[in-house]
Amino acid sequence: MSQSPEFIVRWQNQDGGLTEGPLTVLWSLIDSYKVDIFEVSLSRITSDFIQFLRTSQSLSIELTSEFAVMASHLVYLKSKALLPDPGFEEEDYDPPLPKELVDKLLEHKKFQMAGQRLAELDRLTAGMFTRETNQVLDETEVWLDVSLVDLISAFNSILEQESSNEMEDLVPIYEGVSQYSVEDKMAYLQGLLEKNGEIHFMDLFETEKPEKKEIVAAFLAVLEVVKIRVCKVIQHAVFGEIKIVKV
Amino acid sequence: MEERTYTKGLLEALLFLSSDPIKLSALAKSAGIEKTEARELLDELILDYQEKEGGFLLREIAGGYQFITNQKYSEILAHIFKDKKRETLSRGTLDTLAIIAYKQPITLTELDEIRGVSSRAMVASLMSKKLVKAVGQKEVPGRPTLYGTTNEFLLHFGLSKLTDLPTPVEVKELKFEEFTPESIIVTDETEMNPDFDTSTLPDELQEEV
């Protein structure tokens, strides 16, 4: 039994069950064998892993389902390796870890080490400071991608401007077809884009005081053209103005 | 030559006044010179401060230029400005972030596969820290969300672009005895990663690279 008490302590000292998975445990076990990963015996690691599960249960570490999955996967691999192989006659052949598991472990380890380097960088940059001033160079070219939330709040502010129309029915039942359709708005928007290359958000409306119906149609039209990737929506970093530009 | 010194000084003054990284285009525009000339002058400035080995340096961060304190004072400054010091991230978070940074764009399932544990909570926490964002959807059944790093990620780690990330070490290349933390630090930080395939990145990241 290679599982040393020291290993268990190391395991418990980590940030908790969620941050460390079965792959980390497997790696620690392999580490404790002091042999190359390509020479690790499948049956040994299977029994050690199951042993680890038992021990840690008694240590009341919260075990996630991932550990059970890994254990059963190991047992499955072991059972597969135990099946007689017609081309292989040797009696006491101890199968090594299968390639896909080794690859997975190596990949896991690689990113753990990359994470370690990021940790060093994180520690270093945490102590590196920049000046704190409120001088902003007029960076006219800083346009940020707009999130859906920004768009909705932009539409909200337009809707609020238009509170005088509060009493107006959103969908007039008697009129049948709405005056503003999303298709029309899309065509209008694309026409403007063709002409100017970029349009400001407020240009979408034909009048100074758009009706609710028009605002809603314009909103849906913007979402639609962004979805079909005709254009993208950007927002100025400093003034928060929203622009629609051709892709 | 006189005018060159003047412009160089002007750029320095602009950088001195600003707290955020300033883009090359904005600097060139403000100083009224061509981008190529601005880059040349800025490179000179960077070298000047490097040679001086003083308390702060000029660095390219997140696609812009910024004055930042010298990393050799990192530890002591972090100690002196305890309350201003940024919280460091937990190891689990950093491991997840590393996978996203090198493998982006990546789906949750692919992330779970490498980590061996569910990463949903970790990604949510990284997203709330604005280090990671959704960058698109993978064109496979279910259209799972693809995740990538943000501009804040570059700012956080003081990187100019994604290719400045330290090259991941291939574990297979190491001898067994070398699996110690010390061996990881040795590789050259400034070395560009030749395997880092930028063509798979989404458009917005392409620009950054």
As a whole number, mean pLDDT of residues B40-69 equals 91
Using DSSP, state whether A78 is helix, strand or coil.
helix
A43: its two tokens:
């049956």
pLDDT tens digits along A186-204: 888 888 888 877 787 777 7
Instruction: Establish if A167 belongs to a structural domain.
Output: no
Instruction: Establish if B11 belongs to a structural domain.
Output: yes
Q: Do A145 and B204 touch (CB under 8 A)?
A: yes
The whole domain housing B14 covers 1-72
Question: At A197, which CATH number?
Answer: 1.10.10.580
Same domain, B91 and B186: yes
- H/E stretch holding A188: helix A182-196
Same domain, B180 and B88: yes
Instruction: Establish if B104 belongs to a structural domain.
Output: yes
Instruction: Establish if A10 belongs to a structural domain.
Output: no
AA identity, residue A234: I
Length of chain A: 247
Does residue B8 have a pLDDT over 50?
yes
Domain boundary among B27, B42, B72: B72
Q: Do B113 and A64 touch (CB under 8 A)?
A: no
Report whether A115 contacts B95 (CB < 8 A).
yes
pLDDT tens digits along B72-119: 898 888 888 888 778 888 888 888 899 999 988 899 999 888 888 778
Domains held by chain B: number: 2
Q: Do B168 and A111 touch (CB under 8 A)?
A: yes
Report whether B113 contacts A73 (CB < 8 A).
no
Same domain, A187 and A108: no
Chain A neighbors of B29, CB-CB under 8 A? 140
As a whole number, mean pLDDT of residues B168-194 equals 45
pLDDT tens digits along B82-92: 887 788 888 88
Instruction: Establish if B107 belongs to a structural domain.
Output: yes
Same domain, B63 and B100: no
Instruction: Establish if A177 belongs to a structural domain.
Output: no
Q: Between residues A84 and B141, which one has the greater pLDDT?
A: B141
Instruction: Establish if B209 belongs to a structural domain.
Output: no
Same domain, B55 and B98: no
Domain boundary among B50, B72, B94: B72
Chain A neighbors of B92, CB-CB under 8 A? 14-16, 18-20
Give A90→chain B minimum CA distance, Å: 28
DSSP A115-139: HHHHHHHHHHHHT--B----B----
Report whether B77 contacts B69 (CB < 8 A).
yes
How many A-B residue pairs are in contact by the CB < 8 A criterion? 189
Instruction: Establish if A169 belongs to a structural domain.
Output: no
Report whether A42 contacts A98 (CB < 8 A).
yes
Pick from A34, A104, A109, A113 the residue to mutate for testing the B interface (most B CBs within 10 Å): A113
pLDDT tens digits along A104-152: 888 888 888 888 888 888 888 888 888 887 666 655 555 666 666 677 7
Give A150→chain B minimum CA distance, Å: 15
A72: its two tokens:
């059963």
Domain boundary among A86, A107, A126: A126
Highest mean pLDDT among A12-21, A85-94, A205-214, B15-24: B15-24
Same domain, B67 and B87: no
Question: At B121, which CATH number?
Answer: 1.10.10.10
* Least CB–CB distance from B92: residue in A15, A130, A136: A15
Instruction: Establish if A165 belongs to a structural domain.
Output: no
Report whether A243 contacts A232 (CB < 8 A).
no
Report whether B121 contacts B129 (CB < 8 A).
no
Helix, strand, coil tally for chain B in percent (to 5)? 55, 15, 35
What counts of helices (H) and strands (E) characterise chain A? 8, 4
Same domain, B41 and B87: no
Q: How high is the mean pLDDT of chain B?
A: 79
pLDDT tens digits along A1-47: 444 444 443 444 344 334 467 787 787 777 777 777 777 788 888 88
Residue A104 to residue B113: CA distance in whole angstroms:
8
Domains held by chain A: number: 2
Same domain, B152 and B57: no
Instruction: Establish if B123 belongs to a structural domain.
Output: yes
Q: Do A131 and B67 touch (CB under 8 A)?
A: yes
Same domain, B2 and B29: yes
Same domain, B103 and B62: no
* Least CB–CB distance from A31: residue in B69, B93, B179: B179
The whole domain housing A38 covers 22-126
Same domain, B66 and B116: no
Q: Is A120 on the interface with B (CB under 8 A)?
A: yes
Q: Which long-range contacts (CB under 8 A, 24 or more apart) does B138-144 make?
A: B138/B105, B138/B107, B144/B107, B144/B108, B144/B109
Domain boundary among B38, B72, B106: B72
Instruction: Establish if A107 belongs to a structural domain.
Output: yes
Report whether B208 contacts B63 (CB < 8 A).
yes
Instruction: Establish if A119 belongs to a structural domain.
Output: yes
CA-based angle B94:B100:B103, to the nearest 5? 135
Q: Do B176 and A108 touch (CB under 8 A)?
A: no
Domain boundary among A90, A108, A126: A126
Cα dist from B119 to A21, A55, A76, B139, B152, whole Å: 10, 25, 25, 21, 21
Report whether A215 contacts A161 (CB < 8 A).
no
Give B152→chain A minimum CA distance, Å: 13
Q: Which residues contact A141 (CB under 8 A, 6 or more apart)?
A: B23, B25, B26
Does residue B197 have a pLDDT over 50?
no
Instruction: Establish if B205 belongs to a structural domain.
Output: no
Q: Between residues B194 and B152, which one has the greater pLDDT?
A: B152
Give the residue among B163, B149, B164, B168 at the shortest CA–CA distance from B199.
B163
Instruction: Establish if A78 belongs to a structural domain.
Output: yes
Q: Do B185 and A117 touch (CB under 8 A)?
A: yes
Exposed, middle or buried by CB within 10 Å (0-12, 13-18, 19+), for B100?
buried
- Tell me the pTM: 0.63
Instruction: Establish if B25 belongs to a structural domain.
Output: yes
Give the residue among A32, A38, A162 at the shortest CA–CA distance from A101.
A38
